[in-house]
Amino acid sequence: MLKKVTVTVRHEDCWTSQVPFRAKTISLQVYPNKHYLRSRIMIDLNDPDVVKEMGKCKGVMKVNKVMPNRDKTLVDFLNVYKGSIAGILYDYEVLLLDNEIREGKEIWTFVVPRLSIREIVNEIKNVSKVGEVKIDDYTPSNVYLTDMERKVLLLALHSGYLDYPKKSKTEDLAKLLGISKVTFLYHLRTAEKKIISMYLDTGE
């Protein structure tokens, strides 16, 4: 049986415990053979000095790109793979649903078979201090979004792109994901169509 697990941890050997802001992971790419992972996060403030300090934090290998966006900042950076929560979850091949950083803590939400939960949580305890562990039944959504559709939609939502007036530009978000403006819009419209169609079909 599949379960949705939400784990809150304080990871002392990671940049997440050393920064004063809240952030949400937009996309995460793991390269175990190269010993690093690439993260794109949305920070809930626009302060170049804070982002600069983040680049000096333990575990951060390189800040690739910083894109200020009114009251938020998009940051594209490389982080060490070994000892990271993301690396552990990748090794266990979980379905990652969400990751946030709040008050120096990491909040990870993922889906795994029930029998794997204890082993994964124990593995996480080896590299961090685990706080709350919440376990719920997992009910798959009727909407299937591709990985890129999900990344585009998350980025659009958290960058204020879907607000009126828009708080970010199409070309800037597309560049952050390494795709063209046309491709960005294609994936965004496709994701929106899937969600709207599901909503109307269910009559909710």
Per-residue pLDDT reduced to its tens digit, 25-40: 998 888 988 999 999 9
Mean per-residue pLDDT for 93-100? 91
Lowest mean pLDDT of 5-14, 109-118, 121-130, 139-148, name the range.
139-148
| Residue whose entry in the numeric block shows the structure tokens 């994701």 | 191
Say if pTM beats, i.e. exceeds, 0.75: yes
Give the pLDDT of residue 203.
53
Domain chopping of the chain, boundaries: 2-137, 147-202
Q: Is the pLDDT of residue 201 over 70?
A: no
Cβ-proximal residues to 172 (8 Å cutoff; 6+ apart), any chain:
67, 69
Query: What would the mean pLDDT of 107-119 be, rounded to a whole number?
Result: 94
Closest CA relative to residue 77, chosen from 197, 11, 176: 176
